[in-house]
Amino acid sequence: MPARSVFEYAVLRLVPRVERGEFLNVGVILFCRQRRFLDARYQLTRERLLALHTTLDVEALEEQLAHVPLVCGGGEGRWPIGELPTHERFRWLTAPRSSVLQPSPVHSGLCEDPQQALEQLFVKMVL
């Protein structure tokens, strides 16, 4: 049996009207320091989004979300944040903010395979 590793994750939430407190889970970010893993999955369903907010700019939101996996991957040319160490990129991505796209509080768990844990969380929390 492979060794289990601690991971941390946050759910990405769409909060179109902060004052109403409503949100829709649209993605997951998962970080596993032991496995040097940082990745994200997201999915936008236009009908669900527009049911929550009829005038939401879905294309702009999609563009913003597309940057999350790029920041996770890091490297040169991925903005200054992409050049930070993995754990700092995770902390930056999951820092509380009051915008339309917000991370949940960070949670933790154990896994044998962080990619599989990310997929399972994505199915459970977003799909």
pLDDT in tens, 109-122: 999 999 999 999 99
Range of the domain at 120: 5-125
Percent of the chain at pLDDT > 90 equals: 67
**Total structural domains in the chain?**
1
Query: d(Cα 35, Cα 77) in Å, to the nearest integer?
Result: 24
pLDDT in tens, 45-81: 888 888 888 888 889 999 999 999 999 999 877 778 8
For residue 40, pLDDT over 90 is answered with yes
Tell me how long the chain is: 127
* Helix (H), strand (E) at residue 7: strand 5-14
| Residues 49, 78, 33: CA angle, nearest 5 degrees | 85
